[in-house]
């Protein structure tokens, strides 16, 4: 429902005075978001438009996966933006869960009010119970147990993945690279970070545990209202856990074999949440990664700017679709940790990087948009629509695996 409030009344005032008989049917009330119509079809983010500048000095900085003027291998999201310029903006009232290494909120392109805090890491208290962490002032869901935020977020992986979906669009307006020059796929996309992995022995390696993943699945079920909330909610947690309906879970991680308990979780959650998994970067057609291989999930391989398979992407087994994964411009970490080491892959707030980890969120963004267009659809319906509207790639191992056509998937 949409409500026009009397002049001078805030959303908080309205909720405080809400009739008691509505308390059981109203879950969350938010202020409406107004986006200028002319801001949609041509984002002003510098790195989106870089390829339009003759003699661009660095081809790796081109946002080719969304811009139709780049190389023709985009996923047809620009037509979606054009549609909403003409017909009005469909607000994204769902969220994508980012099961990864945590997200750096300080990134200029991830600070929008349309984003929400989730289950990031952020404390190093000894207790691992949800309630004691919340009541002691720490983040309640630190699935990396005794790892602090520097340890977890220093990988930067979750920030880059999140930026593909949620980097704020049309907030730059500059003629040169700035800290707001990246652009995601979905306007006003909520994201819900759940930290499950952290930096390993070397800067380029990361670790995650099965228990962290299972706890993350449990959190998704609890927030979604499908699992018993009694072990998770308290007065403190009620104020920290948002009530957005998480419809998509991006899983840019994988392991070769699933455990029985992991599979049971996905079986239980699949009717309510669409899981999107990266296929892995081993360059093989014989790797069966989980959760990409789950029959209700979408397994995503990566292709390059030419439309050919990105050389390190896995393919065939457990792959349902391919998406851009080569030199993807997205958000990066900023700042330094307690050891004065640069956070993330490079210094700055954006970078160009490759992998099936970047391909998966392209499909997650597509799913989020399809849910926006069809809010009553089940995850299986959204999965079927995305896979039935994909288009072939030019050639190679992934030619008939195909890529997303976001405009067609939305049925516009």
The reported pLDDT for the residue numbered 57 is 53
pLDDT at 125 over 80: no
Q: Is the dihedral of CA 269, 270, 274, 279 positive or negative?
A: positive
Higher pLDDT, 176 or 149: 176
Whether omega before 291 lies within 30 degrees of 0, making that bond cis, reads yes
- List the structure tokens of 90: 């469909």
The reported pLDDT for the residue numbered 15 is 76
The CA–CA distances, whole Å, from 185 to 8, 48, 64 equal 35, 11, 12
pLDDT at 396 over 80: yes
Angstrom distance (rounded) from CA 217 to CA 260: 13
Lowest mean pLDDT among 118-132, 140-154, 204-218, 238-252: 118-132
Instruction: Evaluate whether 269 touches 296 at the Cβ level (below 8 Å).
Output: no
Number of helices (H), then strands (E), belonging to the chain: the values are: 11, 10
Higher pLDDT, 62 or 336: 62
Lowest mean pLDDT among 7-11, 137-141, 261-265, 399-403: 137-141
Task: Kindly give, in sequence order, each residue whose CB lies less than 8 Å from that of residue 90, ignoring residues fewer than 6 positions away.
Answer: 84, 372, 373
Q: How confident is the model at residue 149 (pLDDT cuts 50, 70, 90)?
A: very low
Query: Which pTM value belongs to this model?
Result: 0.80
Pairing relationship of beta strands 245-251 and 94-100 according to DSSP bridges: parallel
Enumerate domains of the chain plus CATH numbers. 91-409 (3.40.50.200)
Instruction: Evaluate whether 95 touches 223 at the Cβ level (below 8 Å).
Output: no
Ramachandran assignment for 55, one of left (phi > 0), alpha (psi -120 to 50 degrees), beta (any other): left
Instruction: Evaluate whether 287 touches 317 at the Cβ level (below 8 Å).
Output: yes
Angstrom distance (rounded) from CA 365 to CA 246: 13
Q: Whose structure tokens read 């023709």?
A: 72
The CA–CA distances, whole Å, from 267 to 7, 23, 180, 252 equal 48, 32, 39, 19
Average per-residue pLDDT for the chain: 75
Judge residue 382's burial from the number of C-beta atoms within 10 Å of its C-beta, 0-12 exposed, 13-18 middle, 19 or more buried: buried
**Which of these, 181, 179, 171, lies nearest to 334 by C-alpha position?**
179
The reported pLDDT for the residue numbered 336 is 55
Mean pLDDT of 145-165: 68
């Amino acid at each position: 429902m949409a409500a026009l409030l009397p002049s001078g009344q805030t959303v908080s005032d309205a909720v405080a005075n809400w009739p008691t008989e509505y308390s059981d049917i109203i879950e969350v009330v938010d202020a409406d978001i107004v986006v200028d119509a002319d801001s949609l079809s041509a984002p002003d983010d510098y790195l989106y438009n870089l390829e339009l500048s003759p003699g661009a000095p660095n081809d790796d900085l081109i946002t080719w996966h969304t811009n139709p003027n780049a190389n023709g291998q985009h996923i047809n999201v620009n037509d979606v933006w054009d549609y909403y310029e003409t017909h009005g903006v469909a607000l994204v009232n769902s969220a994508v869960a980012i099961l990864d290494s945590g997200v750096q909120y300080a990134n200029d392109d991830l600070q929008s009010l349309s984003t929400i805090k989730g289950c990031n890491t952020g404390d190093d208290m000894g207790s691992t119970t949800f309630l004691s962490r919340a009541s002691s002032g720490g983040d309640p869901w630190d699935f990396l147990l005794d790892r602090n935020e520097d340890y977890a977020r220093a990988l930067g992986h979750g920030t880059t993945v999140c930026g593909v979906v949620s980097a704020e669009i049309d907030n730059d307006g500059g003629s040169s690279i700035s800290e707001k020059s990246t652009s995601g796929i979905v306007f006003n996309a909520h994201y819900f970070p759940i930290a499950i992995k952290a930096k390993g022995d070397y800067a380029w390696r990361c670790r995650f545990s099965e228990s962290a993943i299972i706890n993350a699945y449990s959190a998704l079920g609890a927030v979604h209202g499908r699992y018993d909330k009694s072990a998770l909610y308290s007065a403190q947690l009620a104020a920290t856990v948002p009530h957005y309906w998480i419809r998509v879970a991006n899983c840019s991680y994988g392991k070769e074999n699933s455990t029985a308990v992991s599979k049971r979780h996905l079986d239980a959650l699949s009717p309510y949440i669409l899981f999107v998994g990266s296929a892995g970067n081993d360059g093989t057609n014989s790797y069966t990664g989980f959760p990409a291989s789950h029959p209700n999930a979408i397994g995503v391989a990566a292709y390059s700017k030419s439309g050919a398979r990105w050389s390190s992407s896995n393919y065939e087994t457990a792959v349902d679709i391919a998406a851009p994964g080569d030199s993807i411009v997205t958000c990066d970490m900023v700042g330094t940790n307690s050891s004065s080491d640069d956070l993330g892959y490079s210094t700055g707030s954006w970078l160009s990087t490759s992998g099936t980890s970047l391909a998966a969120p392209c499909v997650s963004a597509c799913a989020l948009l399809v849910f926006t267009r069809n809010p009553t659809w089940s995850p299986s319906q959204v999965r079927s629509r995305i896979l039935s509207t994909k288009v072939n790639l030019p050639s190679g191992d992934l030619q008939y695996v195909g890529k997303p056509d976001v405009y067609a998937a939305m049925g516009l």
